[in-house]
Structure 1
Amino acid sequence: MKHLFIPALAASVAVLLFWGTCPADTPRQPAPVAYKDAVRCGRITSPELTEVSGLAVSRKTPGLLWALNDSRNPPEIYGISTKGTLLKTYKVDGATNWDWEDLADFRYRGEDFLVIADVGDNWSARPFNTLYCVKEPTPDNQSNGVLQLEWEMTFRYEHGPLDCEAVAVDATNQKIYLLSKRSTEPVLYELPLEMPCKKSMYTARAVAKIRDIPGPTPADQKQAYGKYRSRPTAMDISADGNTLYILTYKHAYVYSRTPDQTWDLVFSKSPLQITLPHPSKTMVQREALGLDQTSGNIFITSEKALAPIYVVEPAH
């Protein structure tokens, strides 16, 4: 099969050239985008989807969301409507669901892809983590299908094992971002977006720390998952690579930059907060967020049976 990704060496050179020519950071900031209140648009009723830990919005099929389950579930992704109706199930051939925690979408040279992030590590003990890439399928009236891997990337973090549930792909700048979950200050790591060489072990490098996500309040501490309220559980990024969306167990946060700014500079400032509804029993474990690159809508759901789906629309 002919792959459309540039070879690993060329990608590495391109990345170095890109960052090497960036101008120095400047104080100017992009204009913040306001958002409407979150509105429930659906509920996931399928018995196959009771631990949704990753969500991506289809770039090929309007109104379609892609979802995956957490660990100990089959290596499958699921196409659902924004109302939560299960439409299609796809097995990912050659993949293992050790602890799938996020699902990212991206477009490269006119083709659409999904990246499955097998990166969960509650005890910070995994010797390596895995990213699986598949072409985004187009659901039809045929029976459930099988997806072949485009590539598989194994990697370690430069500072040792850690838990992660938030992954995003920036195809514009050829980066894969991963955000640590259990650090006092969440750390953003990056990998190159490239066709991995067989049997290669990549190293995810730390590039920035997030300093201003509000910690849990005394009232939060009394509720389920209260002490974890500020921990990142999902992430997505705009197509131009300049706006990062981060979900926690309490609210979502938006960081925006100009093309000449680093994430480290942006993370030193307070983010835009998207206030989410007080968690119900089925929405307390918010671990899935997907961005619609066309409308700017943000979809959010939880890792529980009968979880609702919320949509947050831009105010413009």
Structure 2
Amino acid sequence: MGGDGSRVPRLTTAFLLLVGLPMPAGAPTRAVAQDRPGAAAPAPVSVDVPNREPIPMRPVAKLPPGPVKENSGIVRSRQFPDLFWMHNDSGDEPRVYPIHRNGEAYRSTREPETPGVLIGGAINVDWEDITVDSDGNLIVADVGNNGNDRRDLVLYYIPEPSPDASRTTFRKKVFVRYPGQKDFPAPRSDFNYDCEAVFTVGNAVHLLTKHRSDTSMKLYRLDHPKAEQTNDLTFLEAFDVRDKAVGADATPDGKRVVVVTYKAIWLFERDDASQPLFGGRISYAPYQSPQVEAVCFADDKSLLLADEETGQLFEVELSGLTRLR
């Protein structure tokens, strides 16, 4: 409370968030405006995008049975080396698929001919992304909402299983909703309540929306998740991604977040995870592949991307992105 400058005035913090500038280190991330019916939302952050050649994508492998079907999420394990978890979206059983970085599948000890780990009690309505938290959970996001009409958006928290397991179950399921949505389905002028891109910072789950009414994406955070009840998401900020966000991942410290659209890769970097995501350094590169919907950090220097249409796994070097600011 003294005059050491460590306290950030509320209006100053709100202003910095509004214009997309980083807050002082240690300042909490706050929503500028409540994302609720009738509230004035801040304009999305936007940057100029140069014309450039597509980034090189090195084919790694054809995905094995299981995730080759209709993959829509990938994340690196924080407990096991050389382990990446994948899943398919609607139409598959509630399974997660362990693979090596080279695309080869792990096989179950008890059921070697059946790919993946069955999540008992879960339902795959429209699984769209997967992430991991600091408590050792896989979090599968059943938040696909093409019709903008779902009232059952849910996150499954699953203790990360051994890659040679055949089945497990979830620890809890957490229902979520967007506070700004009042109509089900949403009107076509506000058809922006789908989500295919999810990541964690510590134990905090973040969702990036896939818009059909404009080219932006909104960033939401799940605060104080409570199981077996519907939790309002907290709106944080928005960014003009010039397309549809279909996958995301973050480094464990939350300082780097990658987002993939159907046409491009975006990298957001900040000095502290408490700072606004879209107020820091931004890099970009277009790519060419039919239908990439899954991305994750393979290590500090590269990404893995999975193409749903071709069933192909690719590697991309982060050094190939263009720094925009």
Please tell me the TM-score bracket, short chain as reference.
0.7 to 0.9
- Does residue 276 of structure 2 align to residue 262 of structure 1? yes
Aligned equivalent of 2:166: 145
Aligned equivalent of 2:296: 290
Aligned equivalent of 1:190: 221
Aligned equivalent of 1:103: 130
Conserved in 2, the CA contact under 8 Å of 1:207 and 1:263?
Answer: no
Q: Which amino acid is 2:254 matched to?
A: G
- Does residue 199 of structure 2 align to residue 168 of structure 1? yes
Output one character per residue of 1:90-112: Cα deviation in whole Å (capped at 9) or x when no partner: 0111110000000112223xxx2
- Does residue 141 of structure 2 align to residue 117 of structure 1? yes
Distance (whole Å) between structure 1 residues aligned to residue 22 and residue 253 of structure 2: 20
Q: Secondary structure of 2:295's match? A: strand
Q: Secondary structure of 2:118's match? A: strand
Gap change, CA 1:47 and 1:154, over 3 Å in 2: closer
Gap change, CA 1:201 and 1:175, over 3 Å in 2: same
- Does residue 72 of structure 2 align to residue 53 of structure 1? yes
Within 5 A, what are the aligned runs for 1:1-316?
24=13, 37-46=56-65, 49-88=68-107, 89-108=116-135, 112-140=136-164, 144-160=165-181, 162-171=193-202, 174-182=203-211, 183-184=213-214, 185-192=216-223, 194=225, 196-197=226-227, 199-211=228-240, 213=241, 215=242, 230-259=243-272, 261-263=275-277, 265-266=279-280, 271-276=282-287, 278-279=288-289, 284-292=290-298, 294-304=299-309, 306-315=310-319
Distance (whole Å) between structure 1 residues aligned to residue 9 and residue 306 of structure 2: 39
Gap change, CA 1:286 and 1:255, over 3 Å in 2: same
Structure of higher CA gyration radius: 2
Q: Secondary structure of 1:87's match? A: coil
Conserved in 2, the CA contact under 8 Å of 1:163 and 1:181?
Answer: yes
- 1:168 Cα deviation from its structure 2 partner: 0.6
Q: RMSD over aligned Cα, in angstroms?
A: 2.9
Identity rate, percent = 25
Conserved in 2, the CA contact under 8 Å of 1:176 and 1:193?
Answer: no
Distance (whole Å) between structure 2 residues aligned to residue 193 and residue 302 of structure 1: 34
Gap change, CA 1:48 and 1:188, over 3 Å in 2: closer
TM-score, with length taken from structure 1: 0.73
- 1:156 Cα deviation from its structure 2 partner: 0.8
Distance (whole Å) between structure 2 residues aligned to residue 37 and residue 296 of structure 1: 14
Distance (whole Å) between structure 2 residues aligned to residue 47 and residue 272 of structure 1: 33
Q: Secondary structure of 1:128's match? A: coil
- 1:64 Cα deviation from its structure 2 partner: 2.0
Q: Which amino acid is 2:223 matched to?
A: P
Deviation >4 Å, runs of 4+ = 23-30
Q: Secondary structure of 2:231's match? A: strand
Q: Secondary structure of 1:164's match? A: strand
Conserved in 2, the CA contact under 8 Å of 1:44 and 1:83?
Answer: no
Q: Which amino acid is 1:177 matched to?
A: H
Aligned equivalent of 1:225: none
- 1:122 Cα deviation from its structure 2 partner: 0.6
Q: Secondary structure of 1:147's match? A: strand
Q: Secondary structure of 2:128's match? A: strand
Unpaired segments of 5 or more residues in structure 1? 1-18, 31-35, 216-229
Distance (whole Å) between structure 2 residues aligned to residue 119 and residue 149 of structure 1: 16
Aligned residues: 257
Unpaired segments of 5 or more residues in structure 2? 1-7, 26-54, 108-115, 187-192, 321-325
Conserved in 1, the CA contact under 8 Å of 2:96 and 2:118?
Answer: yes
Q: Which amino acid is 2:277 matched to?
A: W
Output one character per residue of 1:180-227: Cα deviation in whole Å (capped at 9) or x when no partner: 101522111110265x24x3210112110102x3x3xxxxxxxxxxxx
Gap change, CA 1:245 and 1:20, over 3 Å in 2: farther
- 1:128 Cα deviation from its structure 2 partner: 2.8
After superposing the two structures, state which structure 1 stretch, 43-52 or 86-95, moved more. Answer: 43-52
Distance (whole Å) between structure 1 residues aligned to residue 178 and residue 80 of structure 2: 35
Conserved in 1, the CA contact under 8 Å of 2:68 and 2:311?
Answer: no
Aligned equivalent of 1:221: none
Output one character per residue of 1:268-312: Cα deviation in whole Å (capped at 9) or x when no partner: x7x301343x22xxxx111001123x54431101112x5211112
Conserved in 2, the CA contact under 8 Å of 1:60 and 1:138?
Answer: no
